[in-house]
């Protein structure tokens, strides 16, 4: 097995149309602390861009980061409208108590009940919701046998991908 040179996720970045709504959701509802805010002006991609860059901390030291641009044209350029898709999302590992607490907080805030749901994947249990930007978040609790399952999927990862690309789309999720 090859080891990655990357140590952990530092941050993942997105564009927001409303830094305050984003802050209120991540900090006030979910409890992810605002750990840094950068107010910046840089020469980027052929023009001076003025923007605010916020970071919301996760327990391992990584962060979710969001940009908002002062100039409407920059905002439109760097934040194109994307069709909503449940397959474009952030998945964060939590334990069962944290997942229950997040679900409680979302319900207490009456946050997006039409897009908040739980899905049992067999190898994990996931709580899904959307943020103020329409981005899907997944809070995932691994099943107790996750380590064994991960070893199985690691052992046949290349073989399964080759099989799938060749047209054999037989499911290998026997854990549901």
Would you call 13 helix, strand, or coil by DSSP? strand
Distance CA 118, CA 104 (A): 13
Give me the pLDDT at residue 1, please: 59
What pLDDT, on a 0 to 100 scale, did the predictor assign at position 84? 76
Is the pLDDT at 53 greater than 90? The verdict is yes
Q: Retrieve residue 119's tokens.
A: 């899905």
- 56: in domain: yes
Residue 108 maps to a domain: no
Q: Around 87, how many Cα atoms within 13 Å sit in the side-chain half-sphere?
A: 1
The reply to whether 41 falls in a domain is: yes
Is residue 110 in some structural domain? no
Mean pLDDT of the region 26-40: 96
Residue 96 lies in a domain: no
Helices (H), the chain: 19-23, 72-78, 96-108, 146-155, 157-165
Q: How many domains does the chain have?
A: 1
Residue 63 located in a structural domain:
yes
Where does residue 121 rank: exposed (0-12), middle (13-18), buried (19+ CB within 10 A)?
middle
Spell out the residues 6+ positions from residue 116 whose beta carbon is closer than 8 angstroms to its own.
103, 106, 107, 127, 128, 129, 130
pLDDT at 140 over 90: yes
Q: Count CB-CB contacts under 10 A for residue 131.
A: 22
- Asked whether residue 172 is assigned to any structural domain, the reply reads no
Residue 34 covered by a domain: yes
pLDDT over threshold 80, residue 83: no
**Where residue 66 sits, what CATH number does that domain have?**
3.10.180.10
- Which residue(s) pair with 119 in the sheet? 126
Could you tell me the pTM of the whole model? Answer: 0.85
Instruction: Domain of residue 49: give its range.
Output: 9-81
């Amino acid at each position: 097995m090859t080891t990655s040179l990357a140590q952990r996720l530092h941050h993942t970045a997105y564009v927001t149309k409303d830094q305050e709504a984003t802050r209120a959701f991540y900090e006030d509802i979910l409890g992810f602390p605002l750990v840094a805010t950068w107010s910046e002006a840089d020469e980027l991609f052929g023009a001076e861009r003025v923007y605010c860059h916020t970071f919301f901390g996760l327990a391992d030291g990584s962060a979710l980061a969001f940009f908002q641009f002062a100039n409407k044209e920059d905002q439109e350029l760097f934040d194109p409208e994307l069709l909503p898709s449940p397959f474009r999302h952030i998945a964060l590992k939590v334990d069962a108590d944290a997942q229950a607490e997040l679900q409680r907080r979302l319900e207490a805030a009456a946050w997006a009940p039409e897009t908040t749901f739980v899905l049992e994947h067999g190898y994990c249990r996931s709580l899904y919701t959307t943020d103020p930007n329409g981005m899907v978040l997944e809070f995932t609790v691994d099943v107790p046998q996750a380590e064994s399952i991960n070893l199985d999927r690691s052992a046949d990862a290349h073989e399964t991908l080759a099989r799938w690309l060749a047209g054999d789309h037989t499911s290998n999720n026997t854990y549901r």
